[in-house]
Structure 1
Amino acid sequence: MTQKTLLKGRVLAFDGSPFDVDPTEAAKTHETVLVQDGRIAALGPFAELSQTHPDARVTDYGNHLVMAGFVDPHVHYPQTAMIASWGKRLIDWLNSYTFPEEMKFGDPAYAAEIANRYLDLTASHGTTTMCSFCTIHPESVDAFFTAAQARGQRVVAGKTCMDRNAPDGLRDTAQTAYDQSQALLEKWHGVDRLSYAITPRFSPTSTPEQLEAMGALWAEYPHCLMQTHLCEQTDEIEWVRSLFPNARDYLDTYEQFGLLGKNGLYGHVIHLEERERDRLRDVDAALIHCPTSNTFIGSGLFDMEGLMRQGHRVGLATDTGGGSSFSMLRTMAAAYEIGQLRGTPLHPAQLLWLGTVGSARSLRMEDSIGNIAPGMEADLVVLNLASTPDIAQREATANDLWEAVFPTIMMGDDRAVAEVWIGGNRANT
């Protein structure tokens, strides 16, 4: 039976990139969106759509903003329970907090508990799609995909592969990484709304043999995404240089093993050399900006303006739990603050675009998610732009939509999320 719902409010739809055109002209607002059988069917005036579809249910959100659900292209769902752990640089932080927590994910029950907790938390913040690192345990991948499948979510995930510089019990081998990743890929990729990402954690925790195995796997399944980390901290880069003395740079530790390509997602990318910038642009790889993580762990300031000007494909991510919030609103606020520190503040339209269309583009899913347009999947977030007294008193003086939404970007949290729709159905937020 056909299910039709008319959602009435301020419906935001991007028809261009606010990095390519005047940000104030990159999007239009509509009065109503028609959701039919899990997809966006039409946009337009309420009077017109209600007359054309008299059998549709109507939900009136008043002055709320209806927009595409947030897309988070770089997360670590297994780090949910240890988010906001105090005071370490990257390598110490991994050893002190991350690796001990990830050791627990060989237990299917614990993995399932955290997977469901993570998806509950992110839905409450309006995130409808994410790309997650799991742990070395196949159980962690099964748990995440099972939880997302039950909710009808479009997600990406992969088994994290590490065969050195990690504790006993948290290492695989080049061969088991290949075999288990392939088995999980064959089991889950393309099932319902699930996609697999080949996932070497980063060069320091993989031997050349394992990186070569992951490159071989990607060559066999080039339609899959590949996710990893790159140039996050200066001391990390020095570590990579000592482990790979013959590499031209950090990126070369991936490139020489077949792990550089257009379906690659490279997290952080703060301290890139010119050759690295050029090669990443040449292959049209995705660069993922993780601002709350970069400030929390003291990594540095991402060059959004410079990379965008060079034509890079950029997404915006929380990097849970190095990132200190599950909220994409807080992530946008941090991106704005980093832009200010670099002398290039981001416009509200650019921030919303990065957290939706831009991040969907990084996942090569911009034809399915990240925007509101006919034919796209109906993953939506409804934002109350006056969710708290301090936000409301500022929003009341706004002269246009961008002034109205900016206080919610800077000060909003889960209280701003009035409703979430996943695959055309209300989520239990």
Structure 2
Amino acid sequence: MAEPPASAARPTSLPVLHVVDDDTVTRTLVCKVGERLGFRAEGFASPAAFLEASAREQPDLVVVDLAIGDSDGIAVLQGLARRRCSVPLIVSSGLDHRVLGSAVRIGRSLGLTMLDPLRKPAGPAELMAALRDAASKALPIRDRDLDEALGAGQLVPYYQPKLRIADRVPVGAEALVRWEHPTRGTLGPGEFLPLAESGASITPLTFMMVERAARDCATWRRLGHDVGVAVNVSARCVGEPDFAERIADLVAQAGIDPGALTLEVTETAAMADTANVTTALARLRIRGFSLSMDDFGTGYSSLAELYRMPFSELKIERGFVSGMPHDRDATLITRAVVGLAKTLGLRTVAEGVETEASLELLAEMGCDVAQGFLIGHPMPLPGFIGWLDQAAGGHVAPQVGLEEAA
């Protein structure tokens, strides 16, 4: 018989965990650990009760014991397979590890999503680690998850430093979104940004990043660090009629000069709706904002279109920069982009700078600003302020080996 969910009063949009185990203590413990990780948990003492409930509401994760009274966990696997249910499963048991392994293989042969098994007895810490790992590997991120994360303040900017190449002085940072997820840990943009860009979340996310970055920029400028900040903006937002006014209002509220904020628009996005985007960008330039064409070299714009667009900066795609100095073609392309930018009176920023050799090549080419492994990795606001403090004292060490920002 199913126990009433301990978290029945919680929002129904939480991911659902079903625990199938005839031992009341174990079942309750797994449910409580799941709730601490942000699940809405429900326990079942028999496969029949679970299968009946899961037919009404499909769970997002199932933990099932292999020995359940007169039945067994294999009945759960077979029941889910008959429904062609792809919900991720963790089988648990105090039986021999070969039995656990066999259950996993049986589930996979039935077409189920089998995660790493769990040996019993398992304490709270072990359960916490297993469920957290399961969530990070198996649970899909949904539109409503992004909406709730925005409302809860879980989406935050990290800052990757930028250095002026000529004298190695900090000139700013790029704000890069991270999701401080309660169950999955810190997520990079590659894990959720494509979903945001395909749905309605991208607009509030874009304005949130501008607002937070402007406020944080005001903070480090009050501390004596006269550097700016860059934020990626969605082309869908740029095309909105009130985009320029909203950006100007957010910057004014933060108390920084418009020139301290650079808005980065990808080359492909900028060319997708030239009339609308050009109008919005022109209004921003009139107000004193800096505008950067991001990932230059990956799109299909003509030089005439580039000339007409009111950008103040070209950002060279990291694939070309990181290929230097061992790839002759990458070096030639980077040199050509730097030369083109100089001809048009645009500042150049090279991202993906990983080695001193690449930095020296960029200096020889006349590139203005560098960003990447060698300069610093993306970091929360306190870490970036600490980096600026170290840079002011001449103590910034290369950050070789750290994962590049997205």
What's the TM-score, normalizing by structure 2?
0.35
- Hey, which of these two has a bigger chunk of helix by percent? 2
RCO higher in structure (CA 8 A, sep ≥6):
1
Larger Rg over CA atoms: 2
